[in-house]
Amino acid sequence: MKNTLYYSIKIISVLLTLSLILVCLFFGYLYYCNISKMAVPTLGPFRVYLVLSPSMSPTFNIDDAVIIAKTDPEKLKPGDIITYPIFNTEEVNTHRIVSMESTVNGYVFTTKGDYNNVEDSYFTPQDKVIGKYITRIPKLGTFMNTCGEKPYFLAALVLIILLIQFLFGVAERKLKPAAPVIDAAPVIDEKAETETAAEAPETMLGETAPEQQQTEE
């Protein structure tokens, strides 16, 4: 039972360490993007957008962060959520495809916010699709804004994770099973035994000779 608890804590400790590294890298990068006024943080093929309106509620809400991945527009289908520029503006929307039509220039998508009662008043051609919605991080916008105004908040979060990791490390050391004790076998000197065996006949002869002389007398 003790060994099971020890190995469970050890696995959790390793996972916690990996999580701490990923959290620090991810939030550190987002914090950098926030203070450097980078409009759209990018992570390889992924982009991170903050939700500014309730048009897709309850799928995601204001101050959530949505992660968008580059995609092949020809593989999209009704029900997928895509990000695209709003017609004749530099702003973007992330809405659901409700229908699509094939044209000589590719597909054209009709979109609608889950919370909205009507479809968007414009169509989105496939070459304007920025990417497909993958997942969301709830209230990440609130967290980023808080970190931007109060940088010590991020430092406090890292310290809390480090403290939890330290406590797991202490528990791990206390529960670590003792190393098994192995009985040491006696060392046999084969050379010494060989020499003893070789000397034995001479010793026996040496002890027997005087006895034979005494008998002859």
134-173 confidence digits (pLDDT tens): 999 898 878 777 766 666 766 777 787 778 777 877 776 7
Token readout for 207 is 């002890």
What percentage of the chain has pLDDT greater than the value 70?
68
Task: Report strand pairing: 42-43 vs 46-50.
Answer: antiparallel
Sequential pLDDT tens for the chain (217 residues): 556 777 777 787 778 778 777 777 777 776 676 666 666 777 778 998 889 999 999 999 999 989 999 999 989 999 999 999 988 788 899 999 999 999 998 999 999 999 999 999 999 999 999 999 999 989 887 877 776 666 676 677 778 777 877 787 777 677 676 656 565 555 555 555 555 555 555 444 455 545 544 444 5
Integer Cα distance of 26 and 106 in angstroms: 36
Residue indicated by tokens 């759209």? 40
List the beta bridge partners of residue 93.
84
Q: Specify the pLDDT at position 11.
A: 81
The model's pTM is 0.62
Q: Specify the pLDDT at position 42.
A: 77
Provide DSSP, 22-53.
Answer: HHHHHHHHHHHHHHTT-SS-EETTEEEEE--S
Integer Cα distance of 128 and 116 in angstroms: 22
The three-point CA angle 149-90-86 to 5° equals 110
Token readout for 23 is 């959290």
Token readout for 146 is 């808080």
pLDDT in tens, 22-32: 777 777 776 67
Q: Specify the pLDDT at position 78.
A: 96
Task: Report strand pairing: 65-69 vs 81-85.
Answer: unpaired
Integer Cα distance of 71 and 107 in angstroms: 14
In degrees and rounded to multiples of 5, residue 131 shows phi and psi of 175, 180
Task: Report which of 65, 81, 158, 74 is spatially closest to residue 108, judged by C-alpha positions.
Answer: 74
- The identity of residue 67, as a single letter, is I
Dihedral through CA 15, CA 17, CA 20, CA 22, nearest 10? -70
